[in-house]
Structure formats: structure tokens, C-alpha cells
Structure 1
Amino acid sequence: MGKSIVIVGAGVIGLDVALLLAERGYGSHITVIAEHLPGDTSINYTSPWAGANFSAISGNDANALRWDKLGYGHMMKLAEEHGVEACISKTPSFEYWDEMPSRTKIDSMSEYLKDFKILAKSDIPEGCQFGVSFTTITVNAPRYIQYLHRLLKEKYGVTFIREKLTSIESAFSHPSTKVVFNCTGNGARDLPGVQDSKCYPTRGQILLTRAPHIAKNVMRHGKDYETYIIPRPQSNGNIILGGFMQKGVGTGDTFSSESESILKRTTTLLPEILTGGAMEVLAAFSGLRPSREGGARVERTSIPLDGSGSGILVHNYGASGTGFQAGLGMANEAVGTVEDVLSSLPQAKSRL
């Protein structure tokens, strides 16, 4: 029974699909297959390196706006009900743009972001054209995905298997498998059976910094850069400083020149980082956002299987830097494409 639904990939995108299905009673039908699982660190496993937060970094296309709205509602509820356990927190946020964002983006944000306010010109940094404040969600990324992993296994009976698949077709190796969700992120570019040439990494570098006196999220969106300060919940006062958006760069190395740039930009944006208490840089990390030309791919397809017709394959990847905020919205859409398949599966109560 546990092979009816297979999810390939255990980053936040795959975990969100598993969570949505499990909450609907399908946990015992789900097997997650992944080379890396929560608790691992690898440059090929993106989710643990994320900032992470809900921000206006996403695009202004209809998909991004819809996924953001769904994700925000879910994360706000999770923060209210399980914030400490899940290592996520409601946090005041201030975001600024060097160039005016689209009216579509502004109108969408104003509809659902809690405490949303457009800032006066006198309240935004020099050189910026626009700014807003609202209540955001900040996330301790590595601990949050470990929380989801634990929840899915212990409460919902989801099975996890550590394996690097040789092809997406091999996810259908069990005869009872009815649907496979492809949540392979950067792996979608080279995985046989997918090999999406539109996929590419977007490298970022961040600094893990101890500054317990900082309790707000601050971001500046530039034309070719992102600068951000993100408090990390349940981390003894750590904050994340960033960053870079290097399209097509795939190295996991970190560079002192980039660390210096991050420190200069973040302390200029928020000088109080250097006041009100000691600030200590603990480590530099880099990660590779799983990006895709044209935006994320959420699509039901079929795949020919040797000797057994075809299988139902749902692609769900390419979220770039928005996986934590848009993941539940993407999962909702991905799962919605296979309602006919799910209706044939018996639902079970979650484990207590």
C-alpha cells in the first residue's frame, strides 16, 4: 500500500506534497525516495541552506502570486499552532525596492499580508523607490525540514527511502505505484526521463551570524542583487545575512570577497546589526537555488513504462528561491491534478 504514491525528492517541495497528501489521509500510501534526507548537508540538497522567510522576492506572474498567497496562509497558521516545534516564527518585516514593483504585485500583497503598509518615502533607504512593512514568517530551514520529516514519519506513517534513482522511470518499479511526483529540484536538469534543459542553478552565499538583538526581517531588492537580514527562529539569537543571485553558477565554494560584500550591504541597510550588542560571524555557506526558465513547472504528464503501458507523472520543481513560501501552493496545485487517482485510494486516520 505504501507504494501507491511515490514522491521523488525530500527537499521542502517534496515534503510539502507529502504533508498535503498526509493531512488528507493518504500518509500510509506514500513513499518518499531521495538521495538526501533532512539532516544531511550537501551542495546538491538545497533546502537546508535557505534563509528562509516569506518575502516579495517572487515574481509577479499569476502562478507565483497564487502560490505565495496559499503558502502564506499555511505558514501563518503553522506559526500560530506549532511555531516552536516547527522552528518558524511571525516576524516584523521591512522590504525595499530600488525600482518600483509592478502594481499587480503590490495589489496582490496588500490583499492578504497581515499588517501590510506602504511606507512613506522618508521611511525608506536612500536610493530606493518603494517600501512596505508587514508581518512575515521566518524559518529555521534545516530544523523546519527535520520537523516535517519527523511529523510525516511518526504521525502520518510516510515511508522514507534513501536512494539515488537512475531515472524517473525507476520510481515506478513497484507494480502498485499509481502516481509519481517529481520534486527533484536541480536534479531535474539531468535526471533521465526528465532532463529539463530549462533548469539551472542560481547560487547564493549567506553568513550565519549571531546577533540576538535583531528581531526583524529586512530586505532590499535590487536589479541584480538581493540584500537581506533574516532572524533564525529557535537558534539562540542567530540571523542570516545575504546575499547573491548568481544565475547559472553551480559552485558550492564560499568566497571572502562575497562575505565582505554581504557584511557591507547588510550593515548599511540595518546599522543596528553593529549596535545594541555583539555581532559575531559564525560561518559562510553557499546554496544552489533550483531555478527554471519560465518559472516553476507544476504539470501532470504520462511516461511510457517498459512492458507496462504508461505511468502518471506529476512534475513539481523549479521554485528557485521561493520554495519555502510557495511550496504549499505548488503542492496544492500538483495534488489537484491527480484527484481522480486519489479518489481510488482508501483514506486512513493519522497516527496519534
Structure 2
Amino acid sequence: MMQRDNEATKDIVVIGAGVVGLSTAIRIQKKGGYRVTIIADTFPTDQKTIRYTSHWAGAHHVSGAFSDKRQRVSEMDKETFEIMWKDSEHGGPVQGCFLRHNHTEFRSDGADPTEWLDYMPEFRSVSNNELVPGATHGWTFTTFTLYPPVYLNWLLNRFLTDGGTIVRSQLQHISQAMQGGISGLPQKPDAIVACVGLGARFLGGIEDKEVYPVRGQTIALRAPWVKYGRTLSCADGSYFYMMPRVTGDVLVGGIRVANDWFPVPREQDRNYVLAGVLAICPELAPPEVHAERMPTIDDLRSLIVEEGCGLRPGRKGGIRLEAEWFEASPQTKIPVVYNYGHAGMGFQSSWGSASIALDLLEETLAGGKLDTNKGTN
């Protein structure tokens, strides 16, 4: 790890080991001059759990920046895409993770994604005869899908290989990361970076009640004959997606319900998703079925290899990217940089939001004025 000349190495504690926490820790580490420790109660090496959303992500790169001006202004999604696009090259550093493929975004909700997707390779609008049922417009381009278990563990290994430290612990209050009472943490960290996702609602010292869960339910189908992705966003608010993975599975979904904490798959949600994705892609059914008749959702049930739920960390007002001084004790104040509330866009904006968090960290440690509006609404 590079060290900056004439500056003492500073100790930084990153709270959270999801895709945002790992990316932010690596970005700080790569800058040089920092010793970085990640503290979390769940890591990518653990079995899948409702407490760790990143494992349940799709995850493809299809920016939804229209719903969050900050992502367009700072180009977080674009920066992330450019980094991941390079990583997804044949022979890239993350083997068995990325699959480049054609993707088509269908809509009937009146939104035009050109402004936030026109940088995608081979971007173009589609003709009317290419539309799926329920769509009034469509745009197609090349993107990639990544396989979260491989990607997240690669990030963790990269962090550790470059000298990072991890501590497994469940914090009750953010001050516990500041006061040196947890084994493995620095006694006097120079700053805290909180990438706590949904945990921001409950962690003492933050307790951000603007944070709420957006429940998703995903289904992995064994359908290696499908090598393209599709999404459909409808005027009534319904939304369906399908994305192929390098594993030969196709991940499908369409559930995004705010303030729903239910931790396991529901049968009615499964049927809803299967019906929705079958309507936009009958080819998901086995080729021999599709060749003979119109498939039904029963034809997809035998293809199911996994189902799961994730609680996306939504936040009223969007991602919190700002810094403030926190009173760790009557005599000590420590800067805290916040980077959470990405909802379903954690992977898509991970490297871009990490760059903003690093800028905020450096400005704060340099004694400059905190730019609490940087990257915020």
C-alpha cells in the first residue's frame, strides 16, 4: 500500500462489510496513508442471511439514476460502470464473476432513460416490433451481470491482501468503534466511515429514521439457454427483471415493497414474479416446452435452484453522503463520514459513492470546511 510522503499514517474504521463498505474501505486503502479496519457482524464468507443484503443482489449494472439526482450529478453510476467494465474483461481479475450481455430496458411509465444510460455500449432505442407485452418504449445496450458471492469475497480478499484488518463484532453504538474497547480496533481511530446500510436505523448515535427496508424477493432459475437481460417498468408501478449469470442461472425478480420486513420468500410473491418475467420472456421456459406450446409458470418451477429475500436499505432523501464531528467522549471529537442508503443501487454506485466518501474523509481530516452537500440532494 502506498504511503503519502511527510504524513503520518491515519487509522480509519469502516463500519459495514457489504458491497458499499468493502468498496469504500478499498478506495481509502488504495489512496495511501491510511490503515483501514472493517468492523461488521456479517461478512461475505458467511452463509446467506436476511441481515446481509449484498448477497441477494442481482446484480447487473443498469443505472436507475433518474430517481436520484445525486447519482447523475456526481456520475457515481458511470464511474462504477467504467471500473467494473474493465474488471469484466476476458481474463480480468475476478474469475467466474462477470458476464457481459445484451440488456433491454422496457418501459410504459413515461420515463426516458437516455440521459442516464446513453454512455452504455451499443445503446439504442428499439423499434415497436421489438417491444414486449405491456411496454410502450424500449432501449437496448450492452452491460454485465456480476455474481455477488464471488465478487464480494474477491473484494474482501483484495482488502486483506493489501493489509486491511477485519473485526467481527456487533456494535450497539457508534461510539464503541471510537473508544478502543473492542479487540482488534485501533485505540484512537482518526475517523469513522459508516457504511451501515439498513443498520443506520438502529445503530446508537446514528438512529436515522429516514432509513427503511425495501423488501425484494429473487428466484434463480437454471436456464443457461438465456444469455440476455430484460426489465419492464410499468405505469402502475410494477417492475420485473431478469438477468443472466455466468453460472448459467437467470435471476428473476420484481418485488420492491417499502417497510416490509418479512424475512423469507412468500408463495404469492413467487407466483407474481414468475408470471411477470414469463410475460416478458417466454424463452425462460425449457426450449422443448417453448417449441410446442405457450409456457406457464408451472414450467418454470422445476428450474428453480434458489429463492431468497433481501432488505434493500432505502432512505428518504436518498443516499446519505456527508461528514460531521462526533463527540466520542467529553474531551474527544472524531469525524464520521456517512455512506449509506443506496436502496437497490449499492452495486451500481459502489465505487462512485466510495470516491465521494474518500473526498469527504480527506477534506475533514485536513481541517477543511465540511461539504455536507457534496453528493447529496
- TM > 0.5 between the two? yes
| Displacement after TM superposition at 1:39 (Å) | 2.2
Q: Could you say if the C-alpha distance between residues 343 and 24 of structure 1 is closer, same or farther in structure 2, counting changes exceeding 3 Å?
A: farther
Q: Does 1:245 align with 2:256?
A: yes
| 2:214 is aligned with 1:202 | yes
Which residue number in structure 2 is paired with residue 173 of structure 1? Answer: 179
Counterpart residue number, 2:115: 107
TM superposition shift of 1:58: 4.1
Counterpart residue type for residue 205 of structure 1: Q
Alignment partner, residue 374 of structure 2: none
Shift of 1:251: 1.2
1:36 and 2:42 aligned? yes
Quote the residue 1:119 is aligned against: 126
Q: Give me the whole-angstrom Cα distance separating, in 2, the residues matched to 1:201 and 1:108.
A: 25
- 1:224 is the counterpart of 2:224: no
User: Which of structure 1's runs of 4+ aligned residues deviate more than 3 A?
Assistant: 56-61, 340-344
Aligned letter for 2:97?
Answer: C
The CA deviation at 1:166 is 1.5
- Aligned amino acid, residue 240 of structure 2: T
3-state SS, counterpart of residue 149 of structure 1: helix
Q: Indicate the residue corresponding to 1:74 in structure 2.
A: 83
Say yes or no: does 1:144 pair with 2:147.
no
CA distance in structure 2 between the aligned counterparts of 1:2 and 1:334, rounded to whole angstroms: 18
1:20 aligned onto 2:27 = yes
- Give the match for residue 104 of structure 2: 94
Q: Assess if the C-alpha contact under 8 Å between 1:2 and 1:159 holds in 2.
A: no
**Letter matched to residue 39 of structure 1:** T
Q: Which runs of 5+ in 1 are unaligned?
A: 345-352
The one-letter code sitting in structure 1 at the alignment partner of 2:212 is Y
Determine helix, strand or coil for the equivalent of 1:82. coil
How far the C-alpha of 1:210 sits from its partner, in A, is 0.6
2:64–2:116 CA contact under 8 A, matched in 1: no
Conserved? CA contact 1:2–1:31, under 8 Å: no
Kindly indicate whether the alpha-carbon contact (under 8 Å) linking 1:11 and 1:47 is maintained by their aligned counterparts in 2: yes
Cα displacement (A) at 1:10: 0.1
TM-aligned CA deviation for residue 225 of structure 1: 2.5
Aligned length: 337
- 8 Å Cα contact 1:213/1:277 also seen in 2: no
Distance 1:318 1:60, change over 3 A: same
- Report sequence identity in percent: 29
Aligned counterparts of 2:37 and 2:207: Cα–Cα separation in 1: 23
1:284 counterpart = 2:295: no
Structure 1 residue 282: Cα displacement: 1.3
Higher helix proportion: 1
Q: Aligned residue for 1:262?
A: 273
Structure 1 residue aligned with 2:357: 334
Question: What is the identity, as a one-letter code, of the residue corresponding to 2:30?
Answer: E
Offset from partner CA, 1:266-324 (integer Å, 9 cap, x none): 11111111143686111221110000011111111111111332110000000000000
Contact (CA 8 Å) 1:199, 1:318: kept in 2 or not?
yes
For residues 176 and 96 of structure 2, what CA distance do their matches in structure 1 show?
Answer: 33
From the superposition, tell whether residues 2 and 47 of structure 1 become closer, same or farther in structure 2 (CA, over 3 Å): farther
Q: State the one-letter code of the partner of 2:77.
A: D
Structure 1 counterpart of 2:3: none
Q: CA 1:311/1:84 → structure 2, altered by over 3 Å: closer, same or farther?
A: closer
> Paired residue for 1:190, among 185, 190, 202?
202
Moved more, 203-212 or 51-60: 51-60
1:2 deviates by 8.7
Contact 2:97–2:151 (CA under 8 A) maintained in structure 1: yes
Residue identity opposite 1:319 in structure 2: H
Q: How far off its partner does 1:89 sit?
A: 2.5
Task: Identify if the C-alpha distance between structure 1 residues 49 and 61 changes in structure 2 by more than 3 Å, giving closer, same or farther.
Answer: closer
Whole-Å separation in 1 of the counterparts to 2:272 and 2:77? 29
Report deviation, 1:14.
0.2
Q: Report how far residue 264 of structure 1 moved.
A: 1.1
1: CA distance, partners of 2:81 / 2:156: 20
Determine if the alignment matches structure 1 residue 213 to structure 2 residue 221.
no
Tell me the TM-score normalized by structure 1: 0.90
Could you list the per-position Cα deviations for residues 146-183 of structure 1 after superposition, in whole angstroms to 9, with x for gaps in the alignment? 111111112x1110111011211111123431111100
Q: Whose RCO is larger (CA < 8 A, sep 6+)?
A: 1
Q: How far apart in 1 are the matches of 2:174 and 2:139? A: 43
* Aligned counterparts of 1:84 and 1:214: Cα–Cα separation in 2: 22
Does the 8 Å contact 1:12/1:323 carry over to 2?
A: yes
Q: Distance in 1 between matches of 2:218 and 2:288?
A: 21
Structure 1 distance, partners of 2:365, 2:126, is 46
CA contact (8 A) 2:107 2:138 kept: yes
- Matching residue within 160, 164, 179 for 1:158: 164
Which 10-residue stretch deviates more, 62-71 or 333-342? 333-342
